Amino acid sequence: MTPVEAPAYVPGHGLLRGRTAVVTAAAGAGIGGATARRLLEEGARVLISDPHTRRLKDHQAELAAEFGDAVTSTACDVTDETQVRDLFDTAEREHGRLDIVVNNAGLGGTAPLVDMTDEQWTRVLDVTLGGTFRCTRAALRRMRETDGGVIVNNASVVGWRAQAGQVHYAAAKAGVMALTRCAAVEAAAYGVRVNAVAPSLALHPHLARVTTPELLEELTAREAFGRAAEPWEVANVIVFLASDYSSYMTGETVSVSSRHP
């Protein structure tokens, strides 16, 4: 089929004016970077984090050229509890409050189950699921004191759908979905909402580097629109979940996908 072109970029409408957000793994051109930009365009002050310090500073500088001191950054490895605590301490120190957390950090890879090493399994689970756990815990410890907030986790349709070579990643993302549901039940008592997005295929330079052209072509062919999502199209759904337009949604995982069977 002929691919359906992506729509025009949607301008901001001030949906998050006056709020402060933290976005993990936000350096670069992927979903995290697109989400940081969309949050800023909607009026939020944003603290971006990433374990890659140089790339993080470069992306902060790029955003600061447009949004000034509304964007700050601090390095954070979400597998390190001390760094996670420091991340949220920095958000409160620099911006005075914490309203939105986007847990975007994750690690993929491809390996058949029979050849997968313990290290491959553990690393993917620790970054993708363990990192989401640590950041959610840190955020809730602060949000319960302020009676409100929103957490949005980045899951994946692979948490629902079988894909060869993705046992570790699929298990981690299914875990993120389960964590989202359980955390939402607990967080409701604090006035905090917890939801997730589950993208199918959002094409960006990093994905292109770690995925074969053949696999990308196969995955793209399964999409109903005949193309991958733009990262900002996923970010738009994250903005919706972070905004008051989703005020009665919690514990949900929203598929951001045009994929057909």
CA distances from 154 to 13, 145, 173, 199, 253 (A): 23, 25, 8, 8, 9
Query: Is residue 9 a contact partner of residue 41, using CB atoms and an 8 Å limit?
Result: no
Look-up of token digits 């980045």:
154
The encoded tokens of residue 79 equal 């597998």
Rounded Cα distance between 76 and 138, Å, is 13
DSSP 8-state symbol, 223? B
Nearest to 193 by CA among 231, 128, 230, 240: 240
- Based on the residue annotation, tell me whether 169 is a catalytic residue of this protein: yes
Rounded Cα distance between 133 and 122, Å, is 15
Q: Which residues contact 92 (CB under 8 A, 6 or more apart)?
A: 98, 142
169, 190, 245, 248: which is the annotated catalytic residue? 169
DSSP 87-142: HHHHHHHHHS---EEEE---------GGG--HHHHHHHHIIIIIHHHHHHHHHHHH
The encoded tokens of residue 181 equal 């549901």
Rounded Cα distance between 202 and 217, Å, is 13
Rounded Cα distance between 108 and 55, Å, is 19
Q: Which amino acids are annotated catalytic?
A: 169
